[in-house]
Structure 1
Amino acid sequence: MTIALISLVALAALGIGMFSVRVVRSTGDFLVAARSVSPALNGAAIAGEYLSLASFLGVAGLVLESGVGVLWFPVGFTAGFLVLLVAVAAPLRRSGAYTVPDFVENRLASPLARRLAGMAVLLIGWTYLVPQFQGAGRILARFGGVPYPLAVVLAGTVVAVTVALGGMRSATYVQAFQYAVKLLFLAVPALALIIAVGSAGRSAAVHPERGTHFAQATTVEFHAPAVLEVRAPVRVTVDGRPSTWAPGRHAVADATRVRFPRGATVPEVRGGAELGGADWRTPLLHLPGGAHALFQTWSLLVATVLGTAGLPHILVRLHTSPDGAAARRAVVVTLALLGLFYLAPAAYGLLGRTVVPQLYLTGPTDTVALVLPAAVLGPPWGAALSGVVAAGAYAAFLATSSGLLLVVAGGIGHDLLTGSLRDLRVTVGVGAAVGVLLALPARSLEISVVVGWAFAISASTLCPLLLLGIWWRGLTAAGAGAGMVAGGVSATGAAVASALGAAPAGWPEALLLQPAAWSVPLAFAAMVIVSRLGRPPAGAEDLMLAMHVPESAEPVRRGP
């Protein structure tokens, strides 16, 4: 049933793409849907695109693993649209650009600055595509028995064909349709599970100390080596052989199966937050292996709030609105839809901690939303509901990946190569192939951590560029380039160092795991300081005037 539902969602997306191909006749049709998308449809499409598979599965998994402080992720994801609403949406739409690099060249009169912005778009797009393909691969691997590499390739093929057929017009209808699918297939099952666990289950979910024991005899299969902390003696079965674990540390090898008896305390995982412990209950971010929770929390909020304002696949949607006022109304619709949806990941994470604590031990906590229905309801309804959730998660992958792949294709074919409509369709395949190749070795990385890196890079490159380009006439091409390079190199370097585990424990690890708190100020400072050494380009004042005068205002007359 699960594969049938996933196939139905994928076929619906392909059908919408095939329907839309007949009305895509120009670059404007492909990139911005001829600027004719209504606020309601655009708001639904933005919400469908923004509510990614990576953020949904990742937040639910990290709540189970690291505690309630992870709920700052959805707070930041949603609050970022306030920055878009107040400071970016209407002026950027009035600039008349197709893409962010278009805006940069118009504002700064610099082809070099345009290329740097195009490179930033590609960097953000591919970084954000990786966790989408990761999540899609895990879904097909778990429910379809498809090997992870093949599952990632299939996911990339489906989204590439969908985007190549219909461009932005196709993506708009696909994403609006898939917001409804996600609300029905992800949020509604969460409500059903909250009811199904009963008052005892709901009470345990909000009292962490009650979820630290196995409710029934449980076999845990480890997919990676782990070191477990045992506080009291416990009789276990390791690969079929009875054993007694004394208090202390016990190393578990990859592919080991350990069966815990009913009522046994869930061991702690070395380097992770204790289930039900003080760190788990504290409303601060406690990522695995991280330190300095208050700093990480503030840095995460900087990344998610400001990073939203620089996400290229969201920004390009503003250009599909007929005018600046319509762009703002679309953002308001999006805010309402996001607030409704982001209650669901928290519910899956909190319930998962008490119902399937074995995920805390084995590592793939990102799958909690997929396995929780079967664990709560049992066969046959539990398996059926798990299939529904998996299909909803796959819809989330298709919606977000469509938008990301579209801006990556635009970044290659329009912003860097200035290609034709045919070239744009070819670059869709190139963009998908690169995303697949990056996702294959990233299987073991935490999905939400990779998402956080994408937001940090966005907050450190395109966000300062847009805020200063829209609101400060003194910005120069040299200043914009210096800021993008400084912010992009620092945020990307921190992400790579974290992924390789190259940072020593303590402050160095915290600074690299959550770099936005220092990389964003660095980018702003570089843009301002270098711009002060030069002069803004001719015509900057005229473009700024066009961006800030509402469409309903009378034309401004110059001279006598």
Structure 2
Amino acid sequence: MTQPFSVIALLVVCLATVLVAVHGLRLSRTTSDFYVASRTVRPWWNASAIGGEYLSAASFLGVAGLIVVSGQSGLWFPIGYTAGYLMLLLFVAAPLRRSQAYTLPDFAQIRFASVPLRKITTYLVVLICLLYIVPQMHGASLTLTVATGLPDWAGPLLVATVVCLTVVSGGMRSVTFVQAFQYWLKLAALVVPTIFLLTRLIPGNDPALRVQQLGERLGGGGSMGLYETISIIIALLFGTLGLPHVLVRFYTNPTGQAARSTTVIVLGLLSFFYIWPVALGILGRLFTPDLGQTGNADATVLLLPGTILEGLAADLLTSVVVGGAFAAFLSTTSGLVVSLAGAVSQEFFAGTVRGFKISTVLATTAPLLVAGLTSSLALAGAIGNVFAFTASTICPLLLLGIWWRQLTSIGAIAGMLTGAISCALSLLVSGLLTGSDSFWVALIRQPAAWSVPLAFLVTILVSLATAKRVPRNVERILARLHVPERSDLHD
């Protein structure tokens, strides 16, 4: 049954997104505007935009669903998502901004001047972005089906259409405005229902009894083992370092110091945001525990208002959540499409504005088709697999490329291919395994704990074996990455 308030909220969010993007269109004229917003985005604005694109379907819907399914083990996901930005602050943000790159393949080219490495990096960026966009499409399908009764293909089609219009209209500059707006919209869409539900529930219940029930249910079934917990933490910490749509935002800061300031602000914004899906997950664990058994846990945030309340109040709160959920899908997909279109355009269309726009259409159409041919996985779990793959591929190139002068292009290629093959094969095989909780099955289902160290080890060993291939200009390149610019010193 279609809920009119939810449909209205959805249309308002889409219309607001397009209008904000049109504002960016008035300011986007040059190639630099489309790729990196002419490197003029200030820390607070950029931090809001990063929060908008990073807090995806896995954060808005998946975290609460994980807590419903796994109890306290699900808390590791918001912790890992946030802590990954501390790694970015310490090791990546400022050097990456100083590289003067537009995309990750650009960074690989600047650091090593290797065409094969650049191509492999491009293909990995394309694959990672596709893998990340598809769960956003599935989340949109889930949201529209549950909350509005519309067919399951409507959500992905709407997301693809709005994102394509947003990115084509003004590239990175338009997307920056859109994502900053959508971070605060998503936050409000969680804060308002959570506070309202708590104010209605607390007076009518015995607090001591609820605390006791909460302790029992959070620690109850579905908890992850020690190895799985460690592997997920490694995937989230190191995977954040290699996410193309996150890294490209640091290219938009005016200085390296501004990139660091942006990351500090992002840590605060993420920490505050994750309070609310965790709170809703705890409420779901108390009031809708059956969702974890029916395989519909990702709908917890959408179904809670209607489960706890009745009538107009339930419909209005549900519509607020639906609007926030769609903002999450739109903002994350926009960032991913910008990264994907940038990599494809630089590789196949000479990096022109026209090539960027063509690449944008391709970057929204391809995942739409994939989403239509695949079924939805648990959102946080699907995104967790992308983090594991990214940590095993892009992360070694980025960390060692910034901090280790002896890295060679051959070593980087060997490490990325090793990480990609080992992680991808494990995840593919894990899809065939059912009903087993043995340690060996856990190794395959959560490969990051061994695939990430393996990728780093192969990268280092092959680089040492090919030491004569260290770029001759490595000292000059590393100096560019690590020596503060004049603008850094006066920022």
TM-score, normalized by the shorter chain, greater than 0.5: yes
* 1:537 equivalent in structure 2: 471
Aligned residue for 2:443?
Answer: 511
The one of 85, 101, 108 aligned to 2:105:
101
Tell me whether 432-441 or 342-351 shows the greater mean CA deviation: 432-441
CA contact (8 A) 1:445 1:499 kept: no
Identity %: 43
**CA distance in 1 between partners of 2:376 and 2:95 (Å):** 41
**1:24 offset after TM fit, Å?**
2.2
| Aligned mates of 2:364, 2:249 — CA distance in 1 | 20
- Evaluate the alpha carbon distance shift between residue 209 and residue 41 of structure 1 in structure 2; reply closer, same or farther with a 3 A threshold: closer
CA contact (8 A) 1:137 1:155 kept: no
- Mapped to 2, the partners of 1:27 and 1:490 lie a distance apart of 37
Structure 1 residues 117 and 201, CA gap change in structure 2 (3 angstroms): farther
Aligned to 1:69: 73
Change (3 A) 1:98 1:209: closer
Q: Report whether the alignment pairs 1:118 with 2:52.
A: no
Q: Check the 8 A contact 1:118/1:416 in 2, yes or no.
A: no
8 Å Cα contact 2:135-2:376 kept in structure 1: no
- 1:439/1:474 CA distance change after superposition, 3 Å: same
Provide the residue aligned with 1:522 in structure 2: 454
SS in 2 for 1:207: helix
Give secondary structure in 2 for the equivalent of 1:148. Answer: coil
Q: For 2:482, which of 548, 552, 556 is the aligned residue?
A: 548
SS in structure 2 of the partner of residue 461 of structure 1: helix
- The secondary structure found in structure 1 opposite 2:174 is helix
Q: Distance in 2 between matches of 1:307 and 1:6?
A: 31
Q: 1:379 to 1:540 in 2, by over 3 A?
A: same
Maintained 8 Å contact 2:231/2:448:
yes
Give SS of 1:96's match: coil
Shift of 1:491: 1.6
Residue equivalent to 1:412: 344
Contact 2:147 2:302 in 1 (8 A): no
1:306-334 alpha-carbon deviations (Å, 9 max, x no partner):
11111110100000000100010011110
Q: Which of the pair is proportionally richer in helix?
A: 2
Q: What is residue 229 of structure 1 aligned with on the other side?
A: none
Aligned AA (2:228): Q
Asked if the contact 2:166/2:334 (under 8 Å) is kept, the reply is: yes
Distance 1:205 1:173, change over 3 A: farther
Could you tell me how far apart the structure 1 residues matched to 2:423 and 2:206 are? 41
C-alpha deviation, 1:363, in angstroms: 1.1
1:428 maps to 2:365 = no
Does the CA contact (< 8 Å) of 1:205 and 1:350 recur in 2? no
Q: Specify which of 392, 396, 415 is matched with residue 460 of structure 1.
A: 392
- Provide the C-alpha distance between the structure 2 equivalents of 1:120 and 1:322, rounded to a whole number of angstroms: 27
Report how far residue 510 of structure 1 moved. Answer: 0.8
Task: Report the Cα distance in structure 2 between the residues aligned to 1:173 and 1:276, rounded to whole angstroms.
Answer: 38
User: 1:415: Cα distance to partner?
Assistant: 3.7
Q: TM-score, normalised to structure 1's length?
A: 0.83
Distance 1:553-1:379 versus aligned 2 partners, 3 A rule: closer
Q: In structure 1, give the amino acid aligned to 2:386.
A: A
In structure 1, the residue corresponding to 2:407 is in which secondary structure? Answer: coil
**Post-superposition CA distance 1:310-368 (Å, at most 9, x none):** 11101000000001000100111101101111011111111112212331232111000
Q: 1:295 to 1:204 in 2, by over 3 A?
A: farther
**Residue of structure 1 aligned with 2:56, choices 52, 74, 94:** 52
* Structure 2 residue identity aligned to 1:114: R
1:380: how far off?
1.3
**Preserved contact between residue 208 and residue 277 of structure 1 (Cα < 8 Å):** no
Give the CA deviation at 1:416: 4.8
2:202 corresponds, among 198, 204, 226, to 198
Q: 1:403 aligns with which of 325, 331, 335?
A: 335
1:443 match: secondary structure: coil
Residue by residue over 1:84-121, the C-alpha shift from the partner in whole angstroms, topping out at 9 and shown as x without a partner, is 00110001111111111101111011011011111111
One-letter amino acid of the structure 1 residue matched with residue 163 of structure 2:
V
- Counterparts of 1:51-450 in structure 2, within 5 Å, are 51-198=55-202, 200=205, 206-208=211-213, 278-279=220-221, 285-286=223-224, 293-450=225-382
**Greater Rg by CA:** 1
Distance 2:435 2:335 in 1: 33
Q: Does structure 2 retain, via aligned residues, the 8 Å contact 1:28–1:34?
A: yes
Q: CA deviation at 1:398?
A: 0.9
Code of the aligned partner of 1:447 = L
How far apart are residue 154 of structure 1 and its match? Answer: 2.1
* Deviation by residue 1:400-442 (Cα, 9 ceiling, x = unmatched): 1100111111121114543421111111111112211222243
Contact preservation (8 Å) 1:204, 1:210: no
How far the C-alpha of 1:445 sits from its partner, in A, is 1.3
Of 322-331 and 20-29, more deviation after overlay is shown by: 20-29
SS of the residue 1:342 aligns to? helix
Cα gap change, 1:194 to 1:538, in 2 (>3 Å): same
Give the whole-Å Cα distance in 1 for the aligned partners of 2:488 and 2:277.
47
| Equivalent AA in structure 2 for residue 193 of structure 1 | L
Distance 1:314 1:546 in 2: 21
- Unmatched 5+ residue regions in structure 1? 212-274, 287-292, 556-560
What is the aligned partner in structure 1 of residue 44 from structure 2?
40
- Is the 8 Å Cα contact of residues 201 and 351 (structure 1) preserved in structure 2? no
Give the C-alpha shift of residue 507 in structure 1.
2.5
Tell me, yes or no, if the aligned pair for 1:205 and 1:351 is still in contact at 8 Å.
no
Q: How far apart, CA to CA, are the structure 2 residues paired with 1:202 and 1:428?
A: 52
Letter in 2 for 1:542: R
Residue 201 to residue 103, structure 1, CA distance change in 2 (3 Å)? farther
Alpha-carbon distance between aligned partners in 1 of 2:218 and 2:18, rounded to the nearest angstrom: 44
Evaluate the alpha carbon distance shift between residue 527 and residue 503 of structure 1 in structure 2; reply closer, same or farther with a 3 A threshold: farther
- C-alpha separation between the residues in 2 aligned to 1:513 and 1:158? 35
- The answer to whether the 8 A contact 1:479-1:526 is kept is yes
More strand by share: 1
Bigger mean CA offset, 438-447 vs 52-61: 438-447
Deviation at residue 277 of structure 1 after TM alignment = 6.1
Shift of 1:151: 2.4
Q: Aligned pair count?
A: 482
Give the Cα–Cα distance (whole angstroms) in 1 for the partners of residues 209 and 34 of structure 2. Answer: 50
Residue 14 of structure 1 is matched in structure 2 by 18
Matched, 1:491 2:423: yes
Displacement of 1:25: 2.3
The 3 A distance-change label for structure 1 pair 90 and 454 is same
Counterpart Cα distance in 2 of 1:276 and 1:463: 33
Distance 1:88 1:531 in 2: 21
Change (3 A) 1:336 1:554: closer
Does the 8 A contact of 2:147 with 2:318 survive in 1?
A: no
CA shift at 1:205, angstroms? 5.4
RMSD: 2.0
Which amino acid counterpart does residue 475 of structure 2 have in structure 1? Answer: E
Q: Secondary structure at the match of 1:380?
A: helix
| TM-score, normalised relative to structure 2 | 0.94
